[in-house]
Amino acid sequence: MLARLTTFAIDGLASRRITVEVDLRTGLPGFTIVGRGDAAVRESRERVHSAVRNSGFEFPNRRVTVNLAPAYLPKSGPGYDLATACGLLVASGQVPAERVDRWAVFGELSLGGELRPCGGALAVAEGARRHGLDGLIVPRECAAEAGLVDGVAVAGVGDLGGVAAILRGDPPPELPPAPSLDAPRDDIEDLRDVRGHAAPIRALMIAAAGGHNALLVGPPGTGKTMLARRLGGILPPLTCDEALEVTASTASPTCVVAGAASSPSVRSALPTTRSPRPASWAAGRIPVRGRRASPITVSCSSMSCRSSRGRRWRRCVSRSRTGR
């Protein structure tokens, strides 16, 4: 039997829809996961096997093949554990398949069947709304973050048994209260506090009015960061989609993966300034060439060799005899 479930892969600050296909066939028992997954995805076989058995379900004693489509997209992280386990339960007939098409699942499984939080719940919830799904099942710790997205029902569940109950038709647990946008603050930094810097202020005003980019270049201490922090004071409030994008970017310390560092619970209505850490650009630094390294000098270990006094190995006259 073939079962299909929907989950999402984190692609930068956005999410990509992933279809988890689980197929059960007769033959020697085995568990194979294909679809260009990394080590964490391949290791999910052991987590899913133990979680299914320890949650009171029967693991099918058949040949199991799991495909993460599309196959050309690299997958990483343990967020596919829950979709794989639910696909096994649907394919083996332990969970009905009527409600599976309208729910997306995302989360990591422990060996005991408990759900563990994964980074990127905000981006996953936005992807579920974008694809028109009715709801999203995530770990309980990620429910507040996923609830920032309007238009999609979020179910925060603690274990695999609770997820199976929702897929059988039971009502989901009580949803967290819908968070609202941050109220505009009166103490926001503004360009009117700046004295001097007439040319940079004019450049920032033109960039804000026309939606252009601005590059601040100068030695340390000239006011670049101070001016950048006050640019948000002349920008209009963020829309709902813009607030979600800003919240997703500020959830990660290096703006690489949405939600990797913390789980925000309030959407920001004001433009914010993001200062990336030095580690985010250290990989692109050009190394400084130092002094030229001296050539390695190796001497022969034979005490009778004439080159054993610190001369190069290639000049050893007895290397054919010693083999060193």
Distance between CA 142 and CA 5 in Å, rounded?
20
Contacts of 41 (CB under 8 A, 6+ apart): 33, 35, 68, 75, 76, 77, 78, 80
Q: Would you state the pLDDT for residue 165?
A: 94
Please tell me whether the peptide bond between 70 and the residue prior to it is cis, using omega within 30 degrees of 0. Answer: yes
Residue type, 80: Y
Q: Would you state the pLDDT for residue 286?
A: 41
Task: Please list the residues that pair with 139 across neighbouring strands.
Answer: 157
Contact 41, 77 (CB under 8 A): yes
**Residue appearing with tokens 């101070």:** 226
The per-residue DSSP string of 162-178 comes to HHHHHHHTPPPPPPPPP
Q: Would you state the pLDDT for residue 184?
A: 56
Q: Would you state the pLDDT for residue 186?
A: 60
Indicate the SS3 state at residue 240: helix
Task: Please list the residues that pair with 166 across neighbouring strands.
Answer: none
Contact 50, 111 (CB under 8 A): yes
Distance between CA 306 and CA 93 in Å, rounded?
80
Distance between CA 310 and CA 173 in Å, rounded?
77
Q: Would you state the pLDDT for residue 157?
A: 95
Residue type, 318: S
Share of the chain above pLDDT 90, in %: 46
Q: Would you state the pLDDT for residue 182?
A: 55
Q: Would you state the pLDDT for residue 310?
A: 44
Contacts of 135 (CB under 8 A, 6+ apart): 102, 103, 104, 128, 152, 153, 154, 155, 172
Task: Please list the residues that pair with 11 across neighbouring strands.
Answer: 14
Residue type, 320: S
Per-residue pLDDT tens digits of the chain, which is 324 residues long: 799 999 999 888 789 999 999 999 998 999 999 999 999 999 999 999 999 999 999 999 999 999 999 999 999 999 999 999 999 999 999 999 988 999 999 999 999 999 999 888 989 999 999 999 999 999 999 998 888 888 899 999 999 999 999 999 898 887 656 555 555 556 678 888 888 889 999 999 999 999 888 888 888 888 888 998 888 888 888 877 777 777 776 654 333 333 333 455 556 667 777 666 555 444 444 444 444 433 433 334 444 444 444 444 444 444 444 444
Residue type, 295: P
Closest CA to 84 of 128, 40, 133: 40
Q: Would you state the pLDDT for residue 276?
A: 60
Domains with residue ranges and CATH for the chain: 2-168 (3.30.230.10), 191-274 (no CATH), 293-324 (no CATH)
Q: Would you state the pLDDT for residue 176?
A: 59
